[in-house]
Structure 1
Amino acid sequence: MSDLNHEIKLLIIEALDLEDISVDDIDDDAPLFVDGLGLDSIDALELGVAIKNAYNIKIDGNTEDSKKYFYSVKTLSDYIQISK
């Protein structure tokens, strides 16, 4: 697991107060929403704010691109790396 993927998993857990989830419970390639981790649109907003605060990267609203970026930990990590 890359360091950035680990950081993103910790960010997800902390930003969304997922007390019963550990870093090891989140698969890098698993969907974050609906299936997989089961996050919803409110979680997406909170996660977007957390990413902006942590990495100074803004992911615009509910666009097709933003849905791709938020698909999994890996897609978020890839987006953050190219946006730095």
Structure 2
Amino acid sequence: MNVLFQLKNWASRECTVILSDGTEVKIGIDYIPTIEPYNAWDSHYKNASGTWRVYNKSVIFQEFYIKIGNHKITNAGGSNYSVPPGNGI
């Protein structure tokens, strides 16, 4: 499964996907405003540069953070997940 998002104007994006077993999954990305300097070349690509939260909402909620600079991912981390009580996972 592939989901593509246009990172324009630092807007949040979300897409609902139905898996082959009927499970509904929401996959999204949110811009996280920070006070961080960015390189001069990033000013041309400023709509994507910065810190983003990528998430997956389903039976298991998962999120991680990426930093984009010079039109590529420069750092990723902070994986968090949770499951509803009683799922036995």
Q: TM-score range by the shorter chain?
A: under 0.3
The TM-score, its normalising length taken from structure 1, stands at 0.22
| Structure with more relative contact order (C-alpha pairs < 8 Å, separation 6 or more) | 1
Q: Report which of the two has the higher share of helix.
A: 1
Structure number, greater radius of gyration: 2
The TM-score, its normalising length taken from structure 2, stands at 0.21
